[in-house]
Structure 1
């Protein structure tokens, strides 16, 4: 009995060593330390057990831990991979941040390659339905040959960036023929025309179409468009100073929706300032700009009057004369417009939205919101979700 156990132990140790050597070799290929196709084929056959090597598909799996991964989850993952890839030769290794890379050998057939990619995607969706402590996301490359394994790895990793665009999805397929959907659309020219004509409703209609086009692209293409559009739109309306802070904020945005909100809000500021300069005197324009920059803070009539170097009484009179409404009504409307955007575009609680627009009293906020918008904050969110 003891002799049999020792033999099993030897076999287990050999299997572990074989697995470690296999992962080492795969990593050397992924990081281009081995680039000879002859050498790569030799490794796939001798170390990984590949036979045909017709066409290869790469898949990068990213793991988001909600808490420490359980043995049950690990077993579920291994079981699903084994079931889904039964009959196929595959290998893999752990990569940075606890993720995995899989390489699957499939017959060089367009239909079979498509079916395999769909099968891998379905596998991840099923795992995510069954486990609660972990969320798996996967980027799946198109097919390639042994010399392109490093490219397949990069391709699968890059396509995972689409979660920045599409948020809650779990499966992302590479499409090598993908081209920029917003090139040649003349979007900046259309937006600038709406700004010059003082027609924000036209600008919003254009933005709705542009948003759908941007969603068809990848992170770097979207960010590049947003960065370049800042300079181009400002130039077209006669302002030559770009916004470096905004460009940096785009890079830090955690999702497309966050970057889009930043960009849309910036555009509204540009629109507002451009038209205020045309419509109002210097003091009123300066006051409106102050509100745009400080609406998240406590603001009083006296604060703004001091900013524009006028007495509070005189400032209040000229503001109402030029705009048709009192400064307080203007401030409330501006804050409620921003609050409406946050209610529609974020998951912030109503009291958090109130704080974001400079109002710490929840009850007062709901009263002002209803007075300005004719609907309660909770009802507008329900309407949006519906």
Structure 2
């Protein structure tokens, strides 16, 4: 389905659910998926969240992983998942041609060279969504997982100002990595956001793919704390974030930044590269807590005494809370779960990789590329 063929912006209702679309950019047809909530009327301008898939995945697979479509249905906004231009290791999977990353062409099943201009594609996709659907241009947000988050980082760093706020799961960057006096850090000249932007980022200390402390592939190198420090500098944030830890999750909020921007982080002590997901038992506690203490007591028997993660943290739902609030309200749920009476096991599950998500640790990288990511067509068989 070509974008625009069945969409006409404000003025008409739309069949709810997933809509595959084609978006043309620089004369090349690119793929995407729109999710339209059942509350869509075509009359009221709705917020939009762009969801960027990880490497060796695809738009539908990412929505299954992130649950952004479910969050959109519940809260009445539109979710858009774009497709990267690089071929993945399995049929139907893709990666992003992230600027300043060059991966060994040994991973290319078809021998193709390079990739498409993703910066131009994202920019055009945002404009297409504005034309196709009834959206509020002042409430457009973005979220990225793994390679998709690195792509989103590069897009914001390139000076594009489409997104009011951005969320990152195991993926936040602040410019390409450079080594100075034996220490890795972000290239200051490589990240020039148009304005201070609110950011919420999630990271796992046991992430072997994009290591929390740094290292790993050539495209990674500097750690999560270094990336956050750079963004607090770029956003002009004050304070130390007032870190707090609840059941294995450390949360910080820099609530005083330039032009009202905020930066929030969630670090999972035992988190890996997988997308965190509360177990059904913990979700039951969260739902019951809204009805009062009595409700919590009713489900206390299924709550583990020592969960591996803070099950109150689900990235997409937490990001939407962050995106939709203009104040500095603490985003962490403060209701303590009732103690378990024993018997139940693990309180946390991790969203399983889609069948097409494949490890790409065998790639080799080089960061020798121009410092300006805007409309860079240089190749990048990247992804993670």
> Under TM normalisation by the shorter chain, which class is it?
under 0.3
Larger Rg: 1
TM-score where L is the length of structure 1: 0.23
TM-score where L is the length of structure 2: 0.23
Q: Which has the higher strand share?
A: 2
